[in-house]
Structure 1
Amino acid sequence: MTSPLWDKGNTDVDRRLMEFTAGEDVILDRQLFIYDIAASIAHVRGLGTITVLSQDEVTRLVESLTSLREAFSSGSFQLDERFEDGHSAIEFYLTQALGELGKKVHTGRSRNDQVLVAQRLFLRDALHRLARNCAAIADVALHRARQERDIPMPGYTHLQRAVPSSLGMWFAAFAEAFIDNGNLARSTASWLNSNPLGTAAGYGVNLPLPRDQVSAELAFERLQVNPIYAQNSRGKFEFQALTALLQALLDTRRLAWDLSLFTTEEFAFVELPDAYTTGSSIMPNKRNPDVVELLRAATSPAVGAINELISLLSLPSGYHRDLQNTKGPVLRALNRGLTAIELIAPLLDALRFSPDALRNAISGPMHATDHAVDLTGQGVPFRDAYRQVAASLDQFANRKPEDSLQARISPGGCANLLLEQLQSRLQQLTQAL
């Protein structure tokens, strides 16, 4: 491992302690490295603005940082165990390439605000990615809702058959959910889109850093003004990003649960595409919904990461090394969650439902609620109508599900799904991304 950035030249570094304190930073920083480089370029240009660096020095440093980004992207530069973390790798590369000039890159900043800004940029991109995928899911779900709006389907409460519903309503439910999830991800990205770079170790520096210029270059909406708050926000902003992710994953889990049930032979409502199933290692007759089941489990890393952050963030103001341990759970949860969510839109598009199986699962007593409401239109108090209908459930044996759907005219009901409103909301979300 290269010498740590904090080494003053007279420290006998215990490698076991170094490995413990560095942890898995250098591995995790592979996901943050391009953001660290981008922030370093903006910082260097800022130092040029206040003449801490000459324009020639700025040009040489920016060219070397750009070369490092290209080398890392191509794989010719490896972020590996030679380095304590990504920050030390940047300084090592620049010093190797530019000698003494490379050592100037850290002027006016700390690893504290350096990691903050890299993670902030990563979170912003991750949330935009989440929002785009939520919009894609909603788009497919709305398309299916229009196509299959009139196909009867049993509606359940307590996993018991309750009232006639429609496949259109089922798809529309997930369309609206993911429109909301996309808007939450977008607003969360805006909420955390503030620039901590230039706050150093949490108390500012004795240089007139052009923080507004750096913020504009990195597309931040505003400064994170107070240096102490910048340090206190580490983990807090990550927590909020995970919360937005979890909201989408909760709907993913509900969708996956529905499909897990609906694909069983007992329901036989829908077939999964072969690409979303696997075979048994011992039973030749089996095709298992493994992808759907793993989608159902995708909430676990996010919940675990949120709990890890809650347990870590019981700290006084300022930076503490404990905060290093927020990085791993956040990156793992976002990667796993986003990978799962990216599978949903093509899955929804490929589902093939059985209209006959859906319709045949609607039994006569499921029309009882409709009839009770009909009686209230004739002046019968609802509670009396409820009892009257309950006493003679066999009278509904010949009712048609289609008649029930057509009569459900309340806003959002089967005959009035308000898909145009949902489409308008989706369009607003898409235009904002």
Structure 2
Amino acid sequence: MSTVLTASGPDARTGNPLLNLFTGGGRTRRLMWLLIGIVVVLAAVRVISGENELTSSSTIAAALLLAVPIGLAALGGLFAERAGVVNIGLEGMMILGTWGAGWAGYQWGWGAALAGGLLFGAVGGLLHALATVTFGVDHVVSGVAINILAAGIARFLSEILYTDNPRGGGVTQSPALVGAKPPALSLPGLSSGPDLLGDLEGLHWFLISDVAGVLRGVSHEVGVLTLFAILLIPATYLLLWRTAFGLRLRSCGENPAAADSLGVPVYRMKYIAVVISGALAGMGGVFLVFIAGIYRENQTNGRGFIGLAALIFGNWRPGGLAAGAGLFGYSDGLQLRSRSAVVALLLLVAILLVAVAVWQFVKRRLVQSVLAVAVAVAALAGFLTIDVLPPGIVSFTPHLTTLLVLSLASQRLRMPQADGLVYRRGEH
């Protein structure tokens, strides 16, 4: 039982703390090479297809903005599931966050909108914790109930407070937010002063212009709250993997009976984790309200579920879920920028699947290798024969990306051992 509370095994890291910030020195090095390879492949696809939006700064900026709500929902799911509570209700908590942000924001500005979204999301988390931890309701059933309840509560409150409101609004939306939006910053030396990155991007040189577009997109006019959300990724890692609090919380998701025997307040830790989970999901809803400047019904559009998919894709770790959120945010931002550029993603998929096929062949997994080659050929045929995808398919691109990525990553996942199990003291 003592192994539960020792920093050993796959979660233990040694060496330079900076290199170990997300997944350890060796994994971080491989991740860096993987990112470099993705940028090179993207640059090659851009040159072949002629779709400059693939690596334009506007696409990258949109991807960053759209990845934040998904990443915050995934972070919320990380806290809950590392404590052993499956949180299918992330979507509902995001809905509550959007409504709370719209209600507080149209009256008192963006600061109140942030507080309102956090509070309403935390209330959703508290309901989920009450049902699962105290009353022992099945976690999936409780999460689905939260999703249904949140949509109904938002519509009910809108009918009461926004119908015939002198500031506008109605049963499906709030009045517009008042005051200025959160301030934005540009990184000194890259995007302030002479626009050197913008000039390099406009030359459309191979790789150089692509790197310039990516750097300009992530450094020019980035909101303060966006930077705060990004910093939450390493902060969450440090909290959960480098503090006693995080060790106790994670022990509740691995072996709650052993943690309980060692004095860890299991019920309290689960409550804290799920309430934090709801607050972070609600904060993701706040960002959606900030993007639109108003609360609208169905504003989340399934992003809570995509956040859950990013969490699973990231193997229940902060660095991995950040990569998943970035991928889904990129596909969402690209489909908003250009319908024809989405077709170029088929060429990117074909190249990546060929690499997967080679890797599977080296590992002597012939069936998987053949399947990857077959899908790669189909993707390449689609790229060569399709000019522009129908609008319905284009808007569904993030969801298709979710299904594709999960199907490729499903064989190397390890969820917390007690995730989703109802714990009762003395029964284990």
Q: Normalising by the residue count of structure 2, what TM-score does the alignment of the two structures yield?
A: 0.24
Structure number with the higher helix fraction is 2
Structure number with the higher strand fraction is 1
- Which structure has the greater CA radius of gyration? 1
Which of the pair has the greater relative contact order for Cα pairs under 8 Å at 6+ separation?
2
Q: Normalising by the residue count of structure 1, what TM-score does the alignment of the two structures yield?
A: 0.24
